[in-house]
């Protein structure tokens, strides 16, 4: 098959899946919707595997979509390396997630709706990666946002889910507004929206309508506007606040959409426009990315919700990728995107399994001991977490190494005195914090510890440590034992849907999928396809390792201390507590938006409003500036009243004139309004059939005139 | 080509209207079917038109020309008023919209049980006049239809409306009449300044014509007349041409409606019965936009270009003002009415751009707004039919008991807030796009206009969330009435939903038709 029809069928089956599953609402096949959609995914993967990956030559095909005068915008399918990887990646992860979801949502009433949305999402995401121009990308860009809205609000009777959904959509809408302006600006500069045409040589030099900007400056502005869209979709400062709340959705959906694929659409877009990112814009993007990653990592350290930790971690890692794009390290950034997609999806699915096991309890402090109950999940979790932390033998090691390498090269290019240096420094801090919160999470969720009786817990730190070692031994032994053939078959037989899908993603998080050499990113085929950095700092992996060990030591102790205080009900006080609250609430960025929003809307019920998801109302004083009600006041008091005044003036005038001379009144224009005033009453009186006569008369007369004139002349 | 196809679009509903009037009361049940059959015939008519229409041909097609009135003015001149109908891409798109919306509104009218005879004959009269407005190629004819439309509209709101109907219908008619007067002034001035060269040489007298084709050609302007370009005549210190353009702009702007002449719209909508709201928002507002292009822009292109900035600013104000007002509403219908104002602001923004992209975008926006606002009013009607109530706060968690309704509402709401792949997006995007590419408009206007998209997302999603999500709750008295859509409602909303989707994905269906007309306007 030629690529064109492959893509057509591939997209079509997902769309078909969406429609089909949505129509299954009342049918008996509803419970099968998970399997139907898995079949669709398998078909999709088969289709796309027969698609030839381009190495040098891009595949490009255009359909006539719309043209307005001179402006032509085609519907273009563009397949280059970037597209090809994403195309496969999205479908593979979607497959794992669907597999996981069949069990996770098996008793849910809206299961067909859920899978329908998933299919729509995959369709839109594939459309996005295939898009050959900015408008087309914008189209799918909003569609994936729409799918995200639907999936976050999947449990629509839950208030928190609704608020989170609407918040996500609105924040993304703000980003889209920036993106749209960016698209307009780029059209102004290049006269074209095709990605192929967005190269510096194509600048249209005489079309600028901006007084204070050079063409370079305008281009920077355009790129930053596009970046504004990216900040919303990829959850960067200052629009990152929707992502933690988006965790209200079903966990597997979070894994697919809010960790692995949708949120990286922004990175993908930056990669697409990378040839035109100016150095100034690049610096801003890199700094924003790095700063976001640090702030999000700090917040992740203080979360108790298992999914929120992962959400902040996602923001933090997205910050890495964005920074990479800003630095011009497209290959490294993409590589991290790919590895992150696998291990973060893996982590989320593990979290889903844990949450499912805990009967939808998400507070990590109430977990513990799961190492024995969910061993497979634990191993998967450890491997994925290691990948996230960048430990050897994992894919994360390679991608993080390459990204940090690029950052150091970027930061030290022109000596150590520039602001650029902040980028690698902040990314280093993030690496440390990443290890810190992942270890904290591992300990809290999986490690053994004494439960409840408070007095025992005080001295339990030491004992638990022993317990951990013991449990490790136990598991290792169990592992050894199960190497026997019976055990192995037993083990396989006991694997549930959860474990299978998690193991799939975990395997993808190890090095061999990407490189033959686990210790150096130089042999990664991924990076060979994208041309990347020439300099190589060999000390970076060591530094990451050191940071990990440091984090391990500190985090281990503090986490147990934290748990101890939790059981005792002790809380930090003073500045410590203030900092804790600041970090936990992600620096109160939410609150700024809420204030902003309240300026526009007056509402008695504050809880049911957009933009308020995940916020307590404490500390929010009354809203002094409400704009929308003022508009309403203007409407009724000024605009409407003015008109009423004018018409009453006209009325009194006409009354006056009627007293002077009835005959003038009949013909005067002023009389119309007077007549009309009474007309309403007259109608009511004349309703008993006279109207018909009246209208009939009019119609007949008019028609007669028309016909007579036509006939006579 | 005197096929009579276009005239049948007017004559069929007129005849049916009279037939209904003359039928005795005992045939009461048949009125709605007669009316529906006519609407179906119109749809068939429309299909034939679209089939035979040549999109690449600019200028009018299917012309039907009858001489009508020849008024001798003194010894030297003749006033010629003709019955001319014809369509080009612009009119075709509007006629198609009207025929579809009237069909839908007719189905929706089935729930009206009061004075059916009067209702259906007025409704058909409205159909005829509205379509007449779009296909008239003679200013006089256009004006007759434009004026005559008010009569059925006035009664339809005034008799079948809500509790405050007298006020609303009066307000509606006063506003529109004021606009009409302004248009009338311009019409007379235009006709007295343009000369039909062909007939002038034939009759050996100066022939003043109302023919659109003659009015739009500035070569026909009589030297020394009121509206000539070379030696401007001042009215109240303003050039006559500028003055006339402003009159037209306000006259049609009231109909559009633009801020600050919009206050009749929310009142009229709130009081009007559902099908009339649908027609009002879906079709009648478009006459304002149509008139602006067909008359204001086509006859005064030299003036219009100077007012690009003003029109854009008014458009921007309409977008934001309408949006903020919508945000403050508690009544669903009022919210939709204000969102209409906001969306029609995009149309003005596109006109203000004065370039091909902006105009195409504006026309597309009118078309798409016609589909979407009709859908929204039908949705409000669905709730009103069941509960006689439209307060947003009275409904919660409808998704649970009305799933099909929720799906269709999702299409309508997301289409209105401009989700790509639904038609609302294309209109909004290209009006803003055109505005951004325009040299006469500072970039800050479209940039602020983009805010309108965010605003519409806020008020629509918020309403959506409040009414459809969460646990189901309404007042006790409504509880049993709230059932999911019946087949009639699914049909109406479904047709509109599919059309929205179709035009959102394949916008070229419409762009191909209107593009030549727009290019000709600038050519």
Residue B73 has pLDDT above 70, yes or no: yes
- Cα–Cα separations (whole angstroms), residue A668 to A575, A662, A676, B144: 79, 10, 13, 20
Mean pLDDT throughout A590-610? Answer: 60
The first and second tokens of residue A234, run together, are 């990829």
Ordered alpha helix ranges (H), B149-292 = 150-160, 165-191, 197-203, 212-215, 240-255, 264-271, 274-279, 285-291
Nearest-Cα residue of chain A relative to residue B425: A139
Query: pLDDT per residue over B81-95, tens digit each?
Result: 888 899 888 999 999
Ranking A69-78, A324-333, A455-464 by mean pLDDT, the lowest is: A455-464
> What's residue A180's pLDDT?
92
Query: pLDDT per residue over B320-332, tens digit each?
Result: 888 888 888 888 9
* Interchain CB contact of B454 with A (< 8 Å): yes
Percent of chain A at pLDDT exceeding 90: 7
> What's residue A657's pLDDT?
60
Calculate how close chain B gets to A178, using CA atoms only, in Å: 8
Judged by CB atoms closer than 8 Å, whether chains meet at B507 and A65 is answered as yes
Ranking A543-552, A622-631, B69-78 by mean pLDDT, the lowest is: A622-631
Task: Count, in order, helices (H) and strands (E) of chain A.
Answer: 30, 2
Judged by CB atoms closer than 8 Å, whether chains meet at B407 and A22 is answered as yes
pLDDT classification of A417: cutoffs 50, 70, 90: low
Q: Which of B83, B403, B414 sits opposite A146 (nearest CB)?
A: B414
d(Cα A241, Cα A256) in Å, to the nearest integer? 19
Calculate how close chain B gets to A676, using CA atoms only, in Å: 7
- Residue B79, φ and ψ in degrees, nearest 5: -100, 120
Spatial CA neighbour of A511 closest among A406, A397, A401: A397
**Chain B residues with CB-CB distance to A156 below 8 A:** 397, 399, 468-470
* Interchain CB contact of B169 with A (< 8 Å): yes
Helix axes A81-104, A111-130, angle to 10 degrees: 170
**Strands B206-209 and B234-235, bridge-based pairing:** unpaired
**Residues 5 through 34 of chain B touching chain A, CB cutoff 8 Å:** 14, 17-18, 21-22
d(Cα A670, Cα B66) in Å, to the nearest integer? 36
Name the residue ranges covered by the structural domains of chain B. 307-523
d(Cα B73, Cα B130) in Å, to the nearest integer? 31
> What's residue A704's pLDDT?
64
Of residues B324 and A583, more confidence is placed in B324
Residues 6+ apart with CB under 8 A from A479: none
Bridge partner residues of A60 (DSSP): A78
CA–chain centroid gap for A170, Å, is: 12
Nearest-Cα residue of chain B relative to residue A189: B437
Spatial CA neighbour of A32 closest among A99, A112, A104, A108: A112
Mean pLDDT throughout A501-507? Answer: 77
Q: What is the DSSP string of A390-406?
A: T-TTBHHHHHHHHHHHH
> What's residue B364's pLDDT?
93
- Cα–Cα separations (whole angstroms), residue A531 to A340, A493, A538, B105, B329: 20, 45, 19, 61, 56
Residue B313 has pLDDT above 80, yes or no: yes
Judged by CB atoms closer than 8 Å, whether chains meet at B328 and A210 is answered as no
Q: Which of A141, A632, A639 sits opposite B328 (nearest CB)?
A: A632
Is-contact A314 A297, C-beta < 8 A? no
Nearest-Cα residue of chain A relative to residue B466: A608
Is-contact A6 A50, C-beta < 8 A? yes
Provide the 10 A C-beta neighbour count for residue A319.
29
CA–chain centroid gap for A1, Å, is: 34
**Which of B18, B450, B454, B469 is the best mutation test for A, with the most CBs of A within 10 A?**
B469
What is the 3-state composition of chain A as percent helix, strand, coil, each rounded to the nearest 5?
75, 5, 20
d(Cα B306, Cα B290) in Å, to the nearest integer? 20
Calculate how close chain B gets to A73, using CA atoms only, in Å: 11
CA angle B508, A61, B519 (to 5 degrees): 30
Q: Which of B152, B420, B436 sits opposite A143 (nearest CB)?
A: B420
**Strand, helix or coil at B80?**
strand
The first and second tokens of residue A43, run together, are 């078909």
Percent of chain B at pLDDT exceeding 70: 99
- The pLDDT mean for chain A works out to 76
Query: pLDDT per residue over A3-13, tens digit each?
Result: 788 888 888 88
> What's residue B416's pLDDT?
92
**Chain B residues with CB-CB distance to A170 below 8 A:** 454, 457-458, 461
**Chain B residues with CB-CB distance to A700 below 8 A:** 18
Q: Which of A166, A188, A629 sits opposite B462 (nearest CB)?
A: A166
Q: What is the DSSP string of A118-180?
A: HHHHHHHHHHHHHB-BHHHHHHHHHHHHHHHHHHHTSSTT-HHHHHHHHHHHHHHHHHHHHHH
- Quote the pTM value: 0.86
Residues 6+ apart with CB under 8 A from B6: B49, B62, B64, B85, B86, B87, B135
* Interchain CB contact of B461 with A (< 8 Å): yes
> What's residue A138's pLDDT?
92
Of residues A646 and B442, more confidence is placed in B442
Calculate how close chain B gets to A368, using CA atoms only, in Å: 33
Calculate how close chain B gets to A639, using CA atoms only, in Å: 7
d(Cα A381, Cα A391) in Å, to the nearest integer? 14
Instruction: Report the 3 state secondary structure along B112-171.
Output: CCCCHHHHHHHHHHHHHHHHHHHHECEHHHHHHHHHHCHHHHHHHHHHHCCCCHHHHHHH
**Chain B residues with CB-CB distance to A173 below 8 A:** 453-454, 457
Is-contact A513 A524, C-beta < 8 A? no
Is-contact B80 B199, C-beta < 8 A? yes
**Chain A residues with CB-CB distance to B170 below 8 A:** 676-677, 679-680
d(Cα A438, Cα A371) in Å, to the nearest integer? 15
CA angle A495, A500, A504 (to 5 degrees): 150
Residue B246 has pLDDT above 80, yes or no: yes
> What's residue B242's pLDDT?
87
Nearest-Cα residue of chain B relative to residue A71: B357
Judged by CB atoms closer than 8 Å, whether chains meet at A692 and B118 is answered as yes
Q: What's the full length of chain B, in residues?
A: 523
Is-contact A420 A413, C-beta < 8 A? yes
**Which of B129, B436, B446 is the best mutation test for A, with the most CBs of A within 10 A?**
B436
E strand or H helix at B239 = strand B238-239
Mean pLDDT throughout B339-358? Answer: 90
Query: pLDDT per residue over A207-251, tens digit each?
Result: 555 556 677 788 888 889 999 999 989 888 888 888 888 888 888
Query: pLDDT per residue over A321-347, tens digit each?
Result: 999 888 888 888 888 888 888 888 888
Spatial CA neighbour of A272 closest among A82, A531, A74: A82
**Chain B residues with CB-CB distance to A691 below 8 A:** 118, 155, 159
CA–chain centroid gap for A257, Å, is: 7
Judged by CB atoms closer than 8 Å, whether chains meet at B328 and A710 is answered as no
Ranking A243-257, A566-580, B275-289 by mean pLDDT, the lowest is: A566-580
Query: pLDDT per residue over B405-453, tens digit each?
Result: 999 999 999 999 989 889 999 999 999 999 988 888 888 899 999 988 8
Judged by CB atoms closer than 8 Å, whether chains meet at B465 and A691 is answered as no
The first and second tokens of residue A259, run together, are 């960790």
Judged by CB atoms closer than 8 Å, whether chains meet at B69 and A188 is answered as no
Judged by CB atoms closer than 8 Å, whether chains meet at B454 and A135 is answered as no
Residues 6+ apart with CB under 8 A from B29: none
- Cα–Cα separations (whole angstroms), residue A248 to A157, A160, A585, B67, B416: 12, 7, 16, 70, 26
d(Cα B390, Cα B383) in Å, to the nearest integer? 7
Calculate how close chain B gets to A668, using CA atoms only, in Å: 13
**Chain A residues with CB-CB distance to B153 below 8 A:** none
Is-contact B321 B259, C-beta < 8 A? yes
The first and second tokens of residue B319, run together, are 């977008």
Biggest CA–CA distance in chain A, Å, is: 115
Whether the ipTM is more than 0.95: the answer is no
DSSP B28: G
Q: What is the DSSP string of A533-589?
A: -----THHHHHHHHHHHHHHHHHHHHHHHHHHHHHHT----HHHHHHHHHHHTGGGH
Give the number of beta-carbon pairs within 8 Å between A and B.
203
**Strand, helix or coil at A17?**
helix
Calculate how close chain B gets to A222, using CA atoms only, in Å: 13
**Which of A66, A134, A206, A687 is the best mutation test for B, with the most CBs of B within 10 A?**
A66
> What's residue B339's pLDDT?
92
Bridge partner residues of A59 (DSSP): A79
Mean pLDDT throughout A487-506? Answer: 68
Nearest-Cα residue of chain B relative to residue A602: B328
DSSP A57: S
Dihedral sign of CA atoms A529, A533, A537, A540 in order: negative
The first and second tokens of residue A516, run together, are 């033959």
The first and second tokens of residue B386, run together, are 């069941």
């Amino acid at each position: 098959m030629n690529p064109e029809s492959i893509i057509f069928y591939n997209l079509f089956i997902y769309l078909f899946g969406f429609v089909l599953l949505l129509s299954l609402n009342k049918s008996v096949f509803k419970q099968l919707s998970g399997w139907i959609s898995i079949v669709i995914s398998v078909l999709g993967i088969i289709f796309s595997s027969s698609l030839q990956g381009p190495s040098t030559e891009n595949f490009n095909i255009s359909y006539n979509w719309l043209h307005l005068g001179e402006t032509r915008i085609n519907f273009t399918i563009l397949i280059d390396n970037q597209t090809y990887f994403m195309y496969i990646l999205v479908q593979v992860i979607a497959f794992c997630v669907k597999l996981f979801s069949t069990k996770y949502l098996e008793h849910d009433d809206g299961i067909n709706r859920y899978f329908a949305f998933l299919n729509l999402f995959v369709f839109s995401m594939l459309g996005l990666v295939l898009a050959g121009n900015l408008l087309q990308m914008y189209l799918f860009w909003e569609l994936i946002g729409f799918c995200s809205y639907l999936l976050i609000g999947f449990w629509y009777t839950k208030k928190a889910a609704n608020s989170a959904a609407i918040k996500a959509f609105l924040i993304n809408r703000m980003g889209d507004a920036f993106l749209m302006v960016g698209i307009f600006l780029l059209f102004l500069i290049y006269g074209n929206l095709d990605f192929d045409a967005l190269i510096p040589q194509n600048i249209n030099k005489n079309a600028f309508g901006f007084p204070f900007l050079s063409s370079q400056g305008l281009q920077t502005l355009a790129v930053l506007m596009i970046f504004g869209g990216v900040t919303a979709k990829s959850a960067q400062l200052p629009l990152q606040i929707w992502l933690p709340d988006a965790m209200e959705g079903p966990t597997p959906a979070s894994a697919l959409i809010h960790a692995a694929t949708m949120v990286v659409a922004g990175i993908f877009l930056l990669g697409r426009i990378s040839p035109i990112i100016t150095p100034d814009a690049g610096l801003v993007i890199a700094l924003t990315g790095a700063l976001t990653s640090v702030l999000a990592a700090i917040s992740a350290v203080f979360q108790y919700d298992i999914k929120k930790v992962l959400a902040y971690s996602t923001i933090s890692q997205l910050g890495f990728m964005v920074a990479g794009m800003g630095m011009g390290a497209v290959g490294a950034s993409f590589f991290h995107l790919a590895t992150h997609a696998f291990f973060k999806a893996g982590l989320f699915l593990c979290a889903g399994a844990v949450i499912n096991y805990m009967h939808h309890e998400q507070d990590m402090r109430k977990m513990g001991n799961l190492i024995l109950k969910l061993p497979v999940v634990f191993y998967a979790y450890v491997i994925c977490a290691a990948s996230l932390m960048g430990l050897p033998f994992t894919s994360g090691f390679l991608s993080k190494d390459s990204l940090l390498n690029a950052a150091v090269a970027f930061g030290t290019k022109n000596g150590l005195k520039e602001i650029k240096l902040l980028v690698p420094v902040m990314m280093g801090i993030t690496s440390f914090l990443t290890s810190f919160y992942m270890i904290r999470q591992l300990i809290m969720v999986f490690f053994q510890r004494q439960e409840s009786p408070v007095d025992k817990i005080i001295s339990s730190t030491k004992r638990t440590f022993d317990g951990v070692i013991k449990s490790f031994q136990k598991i290792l032994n169990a592992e050894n034992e199960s190497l026997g053939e019976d055990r192995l078959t037993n083990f396989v037989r006991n694997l549930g849907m959860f474990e299978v899908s998690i193991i799939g993603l975990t395997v993808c998080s190890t090095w061999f999928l990407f490189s033959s050499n686990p210790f150096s990113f130089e042999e990664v085929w991924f990076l060979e396809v994208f041309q990347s950095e020439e300099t190589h700092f060999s000390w970076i992996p060591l530094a990451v390792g050191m940071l990990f060990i440091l984090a391990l030591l500190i985090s281990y102790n503090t986490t147990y201390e934290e748990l101890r205080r939790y059981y005792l009900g002790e809380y930090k006080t003073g500045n410590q507590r203030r900092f804790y609250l600041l970090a936990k609430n992600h620096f109160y960025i939410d609150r700024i938006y809420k204030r902003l929003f309240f300026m526009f809307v007056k509402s008695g019920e504050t809880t049911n409003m957009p933009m308020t998801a995940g916020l307590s109302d404490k500390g929010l004083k009354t809203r002094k500036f409400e704009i929308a009600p003022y508009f309403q006041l203007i409407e009724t008091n000024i605009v409407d009243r003015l008109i009423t005044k004018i018409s009453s003036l006209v009325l009194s005038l006409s009354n006056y004139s009627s007293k002077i001379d009835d005959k003038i009144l009949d013909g005067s224009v002023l009389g119309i309004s007077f007549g009309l005033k009474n007309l309403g009453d007259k109608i009511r009186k004349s309703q008993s059939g006279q109207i018909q006569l009246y209208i009939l008369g009019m119609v007949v007369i008019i028609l007669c005139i028309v016909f007579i004139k036509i006939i006579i002349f | 080509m005197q096929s009579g196809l276009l005239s049948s679009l007017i004559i069929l509903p007129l005849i049916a209207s009279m037939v209904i009037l003359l039928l005795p009361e005992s045939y009461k049940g048949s009125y709605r079917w007669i009316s529906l059959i006519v609407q179906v015939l119109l749809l068939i008519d429309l299909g034939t038109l679209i089939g035979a229409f040549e999109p690449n041909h600019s200028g009018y097609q299917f012309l039907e020309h009858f001489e009508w009135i020849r008024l001798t003015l003194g010894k030297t001149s003749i006033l010629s008023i003709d019955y001319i109908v014809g369509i080009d891409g612009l009119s075709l798109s509007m006629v198609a919209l009207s025929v579809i919306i009237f069909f839908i509104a007719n189905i929706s009218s089935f729930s009206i049980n009061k004075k059916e005879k009067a209702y259906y004959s007025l409704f058909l009269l409205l159909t005829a006049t509205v379509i007449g407005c779009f296909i008239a190629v003679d200013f006089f004819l256009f004006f007759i239809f434009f004026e005559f439309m008010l009569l059925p509209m006035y009664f339809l709101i005034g008799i079948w409306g809500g509790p405050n109907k007298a006020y609303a219908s009066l307000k509606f008619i006063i506003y529109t009449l004021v606009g009409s007067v302004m248009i009338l002034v311009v019409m007379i001035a235009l006709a007295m300044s343009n000369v039909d060269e062909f007939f002038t040489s034939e009759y050996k007298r100066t022939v003043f014509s109302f023919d659109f084709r003659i009015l739009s050609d500035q070569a026909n302007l009589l030297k020394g007349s009121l509206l000539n370009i070379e030696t401007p005549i001042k009215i109240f210190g303003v050039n006559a041409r500028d003055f006339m353009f402003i009159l037209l702009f306000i006259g049609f702007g009231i109909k559009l409606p633009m801020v600050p002449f919009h206050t009749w719209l929310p009142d009229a909508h709130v009081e009007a019965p559902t099908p009339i709201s649908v027609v009002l928002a879906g079709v009648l507002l478009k006459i304002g936009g149509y008139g602006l292009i067909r008359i204001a822009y086509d006859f005064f292109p030299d003036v219009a270009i100077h007012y690009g900035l003003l029109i854009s600013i008014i458009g921007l104000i309409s977008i934001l003002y309408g949006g903020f007002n919508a945000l403050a509403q508690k009544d669903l219908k009022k919210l939709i009415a204000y969102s209409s104002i906001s969306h029609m602001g995009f149309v003005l923004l596109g006109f203000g751009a004065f370039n091909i992209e902006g105009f195409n975008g504006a026309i597309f926006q009118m078309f798409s707004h016609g589909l979407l606002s009709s859908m929204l009013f039908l949705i409000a009607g669905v709730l009103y039919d069941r509960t006689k109530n439209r307060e947003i706060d009275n409904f919660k968690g409808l998704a649970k008991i009305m799933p099909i309704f929720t799906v269709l509402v999702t299409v309508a709401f997301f289409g209105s807030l401009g989700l790509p792949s639904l038609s609302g997006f294309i209109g909004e995007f290209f009006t803003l796009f055109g505005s951004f590419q325009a040299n006469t408009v500072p970039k800050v206007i479209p940039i602020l206009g983009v805010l309108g998209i965010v605003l519409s997302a806020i008020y629509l999603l918020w309403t959506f969330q409040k009414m459809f999500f969460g646990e189901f709750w309404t007042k006790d008295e409504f509880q049993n009435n709230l059932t999911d859509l019946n087949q009639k409602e699914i049909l109406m909303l479904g047709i509109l939903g599919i059309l929205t989707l179709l035009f959102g994905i394949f916008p070229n269906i419409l762009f191909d038709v209107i593009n030549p007309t727009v290019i000709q306007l600038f050519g």
